[in-house]
Amino acid sequence: MKAFVLERYGKKRALQSTEFPIPELRDDEVLVEVHAAGVNLLDAKIRDGEFKLILPYRLPLVLGHDVAGVVVEVGRRVQHFRPGDEVYARPDDFRIGTFAEFVAVKEASLALKPKGLTMVEAASIPLVGLTAWQALVEKADLKKGQKVFIQAGSGGVGTFAIQLAKHLGAIVATTTSAGNVALVKSLGADVVIDYKTQDFEDVLRDYDVVLNSQDGKTLEKSLRVLKPGGKLISISGPPDPEFSKEISAPGFVKLVMRLLSSGIRRKAKARGVGYSFLFMKANGSQLREITRLIEAGAIRPVMDRVFPFEATNEALAYVESGRAKGKVVIKVK
């Protein structure tokens, strides 16, 4: 099969377009013919070597964390999918590889594609949808009437998280540039801060939840807009001891994570708020919940650009530029 392969870690290193073996199908997996693949900042960070401690991949590696496509083969133990099914997923860590013509996905991580979405639209959903779900529903337990601050509202996670928070009945604040104010308001944002001319710390007070996706300086400032008992959930780090337990990290890595997050955890504790790091996980049952919301019209995909398969490196560079409004997708078939 044709695939875009990472041969060596390196900052902005180009992926190589090459012939690569079709993944070997395990008993609990489904082989999916890839029609479209979402592009995420996570792909660039793995390529750059930023996740070597957390995710020690063996190279060469096919990148890609979002897929929409058609089932072509099922493993012996697979019960709920059959060839011809239109599906979408965020494949599990260590089974990623959607920048290719085929990918193997665990049955437990797969869901039927939402009716009414194209393959390209469906491929834009899994990673950002699951990130928002695991942050706002699982970790934050966000309730009607609570106030949530979602940073970078016009980005991939932001555009989805605003809609999900609104569906849950929350009051939503976000940051964006002046050109994207109409977009984030159309998704349900109640308070919109132009990060170029305003400081969110001057505007927001007594928030229940902050979803942080920015740098360390922004993370610290986020503590100050939370009320006592509030929750700061970061998808951009630093990883905390709880996360090192989740991934059964070796002792040395556990120690590194404890040290990396010690400052922010100490400051959070002093202010009476909780800090947690989220590295989203593949989850088919949560994806089915998201499908229901999409089919009910509560959430819509927000797309920026679609690149042809041969322009995978250009798509990755565009996502890294930080200019995308919503999601960037590669059309494979």
pLDDT (average), residues 10-19: 96
pLDDT on residue 118 = 98
pLDDT range class, residue 178, cuts 50, 70, 90: very high
Strands 102-106 and 29-39: antiparallel
Residue 316 pLDDT: 98
- Checking if the pLDDT of 124 tops 90, the result is yes
How far apart (Å, rounded) are the C-alpha atoms in residues 98 and 43? 11
Question: What strands lie across the sheet with 226-234, from one edge to the other?
Answer: 191-194, 171-176, 147-150, 207-212, 226-234, 274-277
Cα 194–Cα 196–Cα 139 angle in degrees, nearest 5: 60
With a cut of 90, say whether residue 289 has pLDDT above it. Answer: yes
Q: Which residues pair with 5 in a beta bridge?
A: 16, 62
Whether pLDDT at 126 is above 90: yes
Q: Considering the chain, what percentage of its residues have pLDDT values greater than 70?
A: 100
Measured in degrees and rounded to the nearest 5, phi and psi for residue 150 equal -110, 115
- Angle (deg, nearest 10), helices 126-133 and 284-295: 100
Q: Is 112:303 a contact under the CB 8 Å cutoff? A: no
Residue 167 Cα distances to 7, 14, 242, 261, 278, angstroms: 42, 40, 29, 32, 21
Q: Which pLDDT score, from 0 to 100, does residue 301 have?
A: 98
- Paired tokens of 155: 């980005």
Q: What DSSP string describes 165-176?
A: HHHTT-EEEEEE
Average pLDDT over residues 65-85: 98
The whole-angstrom separation of Cα 241 and Cα 102 is 36
Q: Give the single-character DSSP code of 56.
A: -
What's the confidence (pLDDT) of residue 326?
97
pTM for the model: 0.98
Confidence of residue 218 (pLDDT cuts 50, 70, 90): very high
Does the pLDDT value for residue 277 go beyond 90? yes
pLDDT of residue 53: 86
pLDDT (average), residues 216-240:
97
Over residues 113-119, mean pLDDT: 97
Check residue 176 and give its pLDDT.
Answer: 97
What domains does the chain contain, in order, with CATH numbers?
Answer: 2-124+301-331 (3.90.180.10), 128-277 (3.40.50.720)
For the stretch 313-330, pLDDT in tens is 999 999 999 989 999 999
Q: Which residue blocks in 70-212 are alpha helix, DSSP H?
A: 119-123, 126-133, 156-167, 181-187, 200-203
Strand runs (DSSP E) across 131-273, as ranges? 147-150, 171-176, 191-194, 207-212, 226-234
Indicate whether 198 pLDDT > 90: yes
* 137-170 confidence digits (pLDDT tens): 999 999 999 999 999 999 999 999 999 999 999 9
pLDDT tier at 258 (50, 70, 90 boundaries)? Answer: very high
Average pLDDT, the chain: 97
Q: Give the single-character DSSP code of 100.
A: B
Strand-pairing partners, residue 3, are: 18, 100
What is the distance between the alpha carbons of residues 205 and 220, in angstroms, rounded to a whole number? Answer: 15
- Average the pLDDT over each of 66-70, 171-175, 245-249 and give the range with the smallest value: 245-249
